[in-house]
Chains A and B, each alone.
Chain A
Amino acid sequence: MSKVGLIIKREYSARVKKRSFLLITALVPLLVAGLVFLAMWFSIQETKQLNVLVVDPADLCHGKVFVGNEENPPAIFSFVQEDISLDDFQHNETYNRFDLMLGIHSNVITNKGIKGFYREPVLPKAEYYIKDKIELRLEEYFALDAGISLTEYREIRQEFNFHMASIDPDAQDMTYARWVGIVFSTLIFLFIYIYASQVTHGVLEEKTSRIVEILVSSVKPFQLMIGKIVGIGLVGLTQFAIWIVLIGFSLFFMREFVFQDILDPEVLAEAMSNAGNLTTDAMNGGGTQIMKDSALIDVIYNGIPWSTLLFLFLIYFIGGYLLFGAIFAIVGAAVDSETDSHQAMLPVQLVVIFIYVIGCFVVFNPSGATAMWLSQIPFTSPFIMLQRISAGAVHYTELILSLVLLAAAIFVTLKGAAKVYRTGILMYGKKASWKEIFRWLRYSN
Chain B
Amino acid sequence: MEVLRVENIVKQYAGHTALDNISIGTKKGEIFGLLGPNGAGKTTLIRVINQIIGPDSGKVFLDDKPILPADVAKIGYLPEERGLYKKMKVYDQVMYFARLKGMGKHEAKQKIDYWFEKFEITSWYNKKVEELSKGMAQKIQFIITVLHEPQLLILDEPFSGFDPINAQLIRNEILDLKKKGTSILLSTHNMNSVEEICDSIALIDQSKLILNGKLADVKKEFKSNTYAIQFKGMMFGFANALFADFSLEHSEQIDENRAVAYVKLLKGNTLNHLLKTVMPVVEIESINEVIPSMNDVFIQAVQGTKGGDDE
Identify the A interface with B (CB < 8 A).
Answer: 1, 3, 6-7, 10, 14, 205-206, 208-211, 213-221, 426, 428, 439, 445
Question: Roughly how many angstroms separate A214 CA and B82 CA in the complex, as a whole number?
Answer: 7
Q: Assuming the A-B contacts A14-B87, A426-B52, are A218 and B72 also in contact, with contact meaning beta carbons closer than 8 angstroms in the complex? A: yes
Q: Assuming the A-B contacts A1-B99, A3-B100, are A217 and B52 also in contact, with contact meaning beta carbons closer than 8 angstroms in the complex? A: yes
Q: Which of B55-77 contact A (CB under 8 A)?
A: 69, 72, 75, 77
Is B101 on the interface with A (CB-CB < 8 A)? Answer: yes
Contact of B101 among A209, A218, A220, A439 (CB under 8 A): A218
Question: Roughly how many angstroms separate A319 CA and B118 CA in the complex, as a whole number?
Answer: 49
Is B243 on the interface with A (CB-CB < 8 A)? Answer: no
Question: Roughly how many angstroms separate A210 CA and B84 CA in the complex, as a whole number?
Answer: 8
Is B161 on the interface with A (CB-CB < 8 A)? Answer: no
Asked whether, in the complex, the Cβ of A219 is within 8 Å of the Cβ of B100, the reply is yes
Asked whether, in the complex, the Cβ of A6 is within 8 Å of the Cβ of B14, the reply is no
Q: A7-B100, A210-B83 are in contact. List 7 more A-B contacts (CB 8 A).
A: A209-B85, A211-B84, A213-B81, A213-B83, A218-B100, A220-B69, A426-B53
Is B208 on the interface with A (CB-CB < 8 A)? Answer: no
Contacts of B75 in A (CB 8 A): 217
Contact of A445 among B53, B72, B84, B88 (CB under 8 A): B53
Question: Roughly how many angstroms separate A14 CA and B88 CA in the complex, as a whole number?
Answer: 7
Question: Roughly how many angstroms separate A428 CA and B80 CA in the complex, as a whole number?
Answer: 13
Q: Assuming the A-B contacts A1-B99, A445-B53, are A214 and B77 also in contact, with contact meaning beta carbons closer than 8 angstroms in the complex? A: yes
Contact of A428 among B72, B81, B97 (CB under 8 A): B81
**How far does the Cβ of A206 sit from chain B's closest Cβ, in whole Å?**
8
Asked whether, in the complex, the Cβ of B47 is within 8 Å of the Cβ of A426, the reply is yes
Question: Roughly how many angstroms separate A196 CA and B230 CA in the complex, as a whole number?
Answer: 73
Contact of B141 among A6, A208, A214, A217 (CB under 8 A): A214
Q: Assuming the A-B contacts A215-B100, A217-B72, A218-B72, are A439 and B14 also in contact, with contact meaning beta carbons closer than 8 angstroms in the complex? A: yes
Asked whether, in the complex, the Cβ of A209 is within 8 Å of the Cβ of B84, the reply is yes
Count how many pairs of residues, one from A and one from B, have CB atoms less than 8 Å apart in the complex: 64
Asked whether, in the complex, the Cβ of A14 is within 8 Å of the Cβ of B52, the reply is no
Is B86 on the interface with A (CB-CB < 8 A)? Answer: yes
Question: Roughly how many angstroms separate A305 CA and B97 CA in the complex, as a whole number?
Answer: 46
Asked whether, in the complex, the Cβ of A214 is within 8 Å of the Cβ of B144, the reply is yes
Residue of chain A at shortest CB distance from B44: A426
Is B135 on the interface with A (CB-CB < 8 A)? Answer: no
Question: Roughly how many angstroms separate A419 CA and B145 CA in the complex, as a whole number?
Answer: 27
Question: Roughly how many angstroms separate A218 CA and B86 CA in the complex, as a whole number?
Answer: 20
Question: Roughly how many angstroms separate A3 CA and B77 CA in the complex, as a whole number?
Answer: 17
Asked whether, in the complex, the Cβ of B85 is within 8 Å of the Cβ of A217, the reply is no
Is B50 on the interface with A (CB-CB < 8 A)? Answer: yes
**How far does the Cβ of A33 sit from chain B's closest Cβ, in whole Å?**
31
**How far does the Cβ of B8 sit from chain A's closest Cβ, in whole Å?**
17
Interface size range of chain B in the complex: 20 to 34
Is B37 on the interface with A (CB-CB < 8 A)? Answer: no
Residues 178-193 of B, flagged 1 when their CB comes within 8 A of A and 0 if not, give 0000000000000000
Residue of chain A at shortest CB distance from B156: A213
Identify the B interface with A (CB < 8 A).
Answer: 14, 47, 50, 52-54, 69, 72, 75, 77-79, 81-88, 96-97, 99-101, 141, 144-145
Contacts of B53 in A (CB 8 A): 426, 445
Contacts of A14 in B (CB 8 A): 85, 87-88
25 CB < 8 A contacts A-B: A1-B99, A6-B100, A10-B96, A14-B88, A208-B83, A209-B83, A209-B84, A209-B85, A211-B82, A211-B84, A213-B77, A213-B83, A214-B82, A214-B83, A214-B144, A216-B52, A217-B75, A217-B77, A218-B100, A219-B72, A219-B100, A220-B69, A426-B47, A428-B81, A445-B54
Asked whether, in the complex, the Cβ of A217 is within 8 Å of the Cβ of B50, the reply is yes
Contacts of B96 in A (CB 8 A): 6, 10
Residue of chain A at shortest CB distance from B105: A1
Question: Roughly how many angstroms separate A215 CA and B97 CA in the complex, as a whole number?
Answer: 8
Q: Assuming the A-B contacts A6-B100, A218-B100, are A213 and B79 also in contact, with contact meaning beta carbons closer than 8 angstroms in the complex? A: yes
Question: Roughly how many angstroms separate A206 CA and B84 CA in the complex, as a whole number?
Answer: 8
Contact of A218 among B83, B87, B97, B141 (CB under 8 A): B97
**How far does the Cβ of B141 sit from chain A's closest Cβ, in whole Å?**
7
Contact of B79 among A7, A206, A210 (CB under 8 A): A210
Which of A10, A206, A214, A216 counts the most chain B CB atoms within 10 A? A214
Residue of chain B at shortest CB distance from A3: B100
**How far does the Cβ of B146 sit from chain A's closest Cβ, in whole Å?**
13
Residue of chain B at shortest CB distance from A213: B79
Question: Roughly how many angstroms separate A382 CA and B247 CA in the complex, as a whole number?
Answer: 83
**How far does the Cβ of A21 sit from chain B's closest Cβ, in whole Å?**
12
Contacts of A428 in B (CB 8 A): 81
**How far does the Cβ of A438 sit from chain B's closest Cβ, in whole Å?**
12
The 10 A-B residue pairs whose C-beta atoms are closest, nearest first, are A209-B83, A213-B79, A217-B77, A445-B54, A210-B81, A218-B100, A210-B83, A217-B50, A211-B83, A216-B52
Contacts of A426 in B (CB 8 A): 47, 52-53
Residue of chain A at shortest CB distance from B81: A210
Residue of chain B at shortest CB distance from A220: B69
Question: Roughly how many angstroms separate A215 CA and B88 CA in the complex, as a whole number?
Answer: 15
Residue of chain B at shortest CB distance from A445: B54
Contacts of B54 in A (CB 8 A): 445
Question: Roughly how many angstroms separate A219 CA and B52 CA in the complex, as a whole number?
Answer: 9
Contacts of A221 in B (CB 8 A): 52
Contacts of B84 in A (CB 8 A): 209, 211
Contacts of A218 in B (CB 8 A): 72, 97, 100-101
Question: Roughly how many angstroms separate A179 CA and B85 CA in the complex, as a whole number?
Answer: 43
Contacts of A219 in B (CB 8 A): 72, 100
Question: Roughly how many angstroms separate A265 CA and B14 CA in the complex, as a whole number?
Answer: 74
Contacts of B97 in A (CB 8 A): 214, 218
Question: Roughly how many angstroms separate A219 CA and B141 CA in the complex, as a whole number?
Answer: 17
